[in-house]
Amino acid sequence: MSSNPLLPSRSLRSRVRNFIGEHDLIRSGGRVLVGVSGGPDSTALMLLLASLRRSLNFELEAAHFDHRLRGRRAAASEERFARELASRLDVPLHTGAGDVKSRSKSKRESVEEAARELRYRFLASTAAKAGCQIVAVGHTLDDQAETVLLHLLRGSGLRGLAAMAPSSPWPLQGQKGLRLARPLLKLTREETEKVCLDAGLAPVDDPSNRSDANMRARIRRDLVPMLRSFNPKIGDALARLASAAADDVALLESLAKSLLMSGSSADDVRIDRKRLIEAPAAIQKHAVRLAVAQVLGDARNLSHQHVRNVLRLAGGPTGAGTALIRGLRVDARRSYLVFSTRPTEKRPSLGSGQMPLQVPGKGGLGIWTFETRLLKKRPKDVKSANPYKVVLDAGQCGKKLRIRRRRNGDRFQPLGMTGAKKLQDFFVDAHVPREERDNIPLVVSEHGIVWVVGQRPAEWAKVTKGTKRFLRISARS
């Protein structure tokens, strides 16, 4: 035991030093900003980094952020703890505050999202002023295990199972060169608490960590102990799962990165449409996530449906587009998709008129052109995956086909449904952005809506075993 009560044990210092070296978290001569909340994990992190700064040759500064969620007295106590610790360790401390509840209300974010956004903005700003290239945070092996379980319960993919990396790019847009480091990912929460105990420190207790409103807290309190009854080392097992998933994700992302077109900037990322369509499904999804993360800083809240909408655009007509998350939009150009937060030019409207569609023949409305063909034999592409080509029963479709935009009161019986529904409800269920709906052409006949272009044909117009004549319709813009 060292005579210095603030010096962690040699074994823990060695483990953290080895982890830092293994993952190249801190380079000699660098400057590190450590986020310190006053809890046991961040306190232990500050103690450990302070003890390693000389041997690893780096400068250390600290930052404390008040979320204004726990009252003035609690906030003052937390800041006082951080100041006293920083003073004893001879580490410069930067402080800041933000109104999380106001941001949550104005931005319609959850409290957790608003707190994260304001905290990371403060840390990035402080790091820039202090000349720090690395921001270190106190996530532990237990946090890693809980993150894996949280993503598993939400149905996240492989990227979610990879959870937190030892080092990652800054999670907000516009902070090039700044990285987030997690030096304690191999330590348990029990070990960080022991570091504090050995130093004679009583870290701050955050009651939100025990609230039933906090999903992570419920996982920590209820699910992890239950899983530990099956495997006493469940934390280690989940951390190994995260590590294995991270290795696979790294490979997939390296392959997917080749689909992002050269010359793309941070606020305008492009993906080659043809190569995206031809890529394996796993590569497609990772390419979309990479593009989103490159523009926004991360791909938080990007859902499976969002990715499907983007992939549908890749096989669709030029000029189509869709809204994603946090002001990000994707638009289809002739040979590539553009991911951007910049306002896009308004596309030509379909107008309120209608145009006849000859069978066989060609017709058009607005920027759209259509071609129809009558076939006597069942074609191979009856179940084509292309949402802008369809094969239907010519006899069921009727004799007077027209192209028009949607109208109030339109009803539609989508393929696979037994009854009709309001077209408006269909668009909502299909996650078609509101601003897109008036520019989606409809093929209609005297029997009703035959085909919602890019979405689905009508159930009653589908090809069956009794179909004698086949109608193929192709649309493009």
Check whether the bond before 360 is cis (ω within 30° of 0). yes
Report the pLDDT value the prediction gives residue 262, as an integer from 0 to 100.
55
Q: What angle do CA 297, 302, 307 make, to 5 degrees?
A: 115
C-alpha separations of 263 from 266, 270, 271, 375 in Å: 10, 9, 11, 45
Kindly tell me if the per-residue pLDDT of 436 is higher than 90. no
Report the pLDDT value the prediction gives residue 1, as an integer from 0 to 100.
43
Q: What is the mean pLDDT of the chain?
A: 88
What residue has token string 């700064």? 53
Report the pLDDT value the prediction gives residue 78, as an integer from 0 to 100.
92
Q: Please state which of the ranges 235-249, 269-283, 296-310 shows the lowest mean pLDDT.
A: 296-310
416 φ, ψ (degrees, to nearest 5) = 95, -5
Report the pLDDT value the prediction gives residue 96, as an integer from 0 to 100.
94
- Confidence class for position 387, pLDDT limits 50, 70, 90: confident
Q: Between β-strands 421-422 and 456-457, what pairing exists: parallel, antiparallel or unpaired?
A: unpaired
CATH homologous superfamily for 10-238? HUPs (3.40.50.620)
- Tell me the torsion sign for CA atoms 173, 178, 184, 189: negative
Report the pLDDT value the prediction gives residue 263, as an integer from 0 to 100.
47
Token output for 57: 């040759």
Q: Please state which of the ranges 60-69, 150-159, 230-239, 424-433 shows the lowest mean pLDDT.
A: 424-433
Kindly tell me if the per-residue pLDDT of 237 is higher than 60. yes
Q: What percent of the chain has pLDDT over 90?
A: 49
Residue 4 — left, alpha, or beta (φ > 0 → left; ψ -120 to 50 → alpha)?
beta
- Confidence class for position 211, pLDDT limits 50, 70, 90: low
Report the pLDDT value the prediction gives residue 33, as an integer from 0 to 100.
97
Mention every residue, 6+ apart, whose C-beta is less than 8 A from residue 228: 234
In CATH, what class is 354-476? Answer: alpha beta
CB 184 within 8 A of CB 139: yes
In CATH, what class is 260-340? Answer: alpha beta
Kindly tell me if the per-residue pLDDT of 264 is higher than 80. no
The domains spanning 260-340 and 354-476 adopt the same CATH topology = no
Mean pLDDT of 183-200: 95
Rounded to whole angstroms, how far apart are CA atoms 441 and 406? Answer: 7
Please indicate whether residue 172 or residue 119 has the higher confidence score (pLDDT). Answer: 119
CB 392 within 8 A of CB 463: yes
Please tell me the pTM assigned to this model.
Answer: 0.68
- Confidence class for position 56, pLDDT limits 50, 70, 90: very high
- Confidence class for position 317, pLDDT limits 50, 70, 90: confident
- Confidence class for position 232, pLDDT limits 50, 70, 90: very high
CA proximity to 41, closest of 187, 148, 223, 164? 187
SS3 4: coil
Name the residue ranges covered by the structural domains of the chain: 10-238, 260-340, 354-476
